[in-house]
Amino acid sequence: MASFTKGGGGPDPFGSNEYLRSTQDVKKESYTVAASTVPLETVDGVANQKMLKPGEVLAKITSGPETGKVGPFQAGATDGRQTLANIVGLNDTFLPWQLLERDVEVAATYEATAVQGWCYERDAAGLRITLTNTTADGMRGVKGLDVHFK
């Protein structure tokens, strides 16, 4: 029997992730993701893969050799990606393997209505976790960034 499950998926299944509540009034900006900032993970049993999903929070890199690029917002980072004020938006580009080879251009959503439970950040160990309230609060109504969460 056919079935339908409404909403985005969790961080475990391979594939793109839906994170927007609505596609109305969505604004995006282009950035370059530093491949070195995306940690290796096991994807569908295959080790040492790099995957960046739509809905992951991106932040500016403000120090080191990758300065000027972005990477996943991560609690344990030391290059600026750990700072709420450096968040540029939510990744909108599904990159299932490209970051193994090079830096990649992505679209970052900086104004939209999203579902918090369908968005992600990285913990200190680099693991993808559901977006925390603290990070979500830092993305609402600041200069250049206005993501509302349902």
Beta strands in the chain (DSSP E): 27-33, 41-43, 46-49, 57-60, 70-72, 87-91, 104-114, 120-122, 128-130, 146-149
pLDDT of residue 88: 98
Provide the phi-psi class of 87: left if phi over 0, else alpha when psi is between -120 and 50, else beta: beta
Is pLDDT larger for residue 60 or for residue 6?
60
Each residue's pLDDT tens digit, 24-74: 999 999 999 999 999 999 988 899 999 999 999 999 999 999 999 999 999
Question: Taking Cα atoms as reference points, which of 88, 20, 31 lies closest to residue 58?
Answer: 88
pLDDT of residue 9: 47
Residue 13 has pLDDT above 50, yes or no: yes
The sign of the CA dihedral 76, 13, 137, 148 is positive
pLDDT of residue 14: 79
What are the percentages of helix, strand and coil residues in the chain, rounded to 5? 10, 35, 55
Residue 117 has pLDDT above 70, yes or no: yes
Average pLDDT over residues 85-100: 97
Query: In one letter, which amino acid is 102?
Result: R
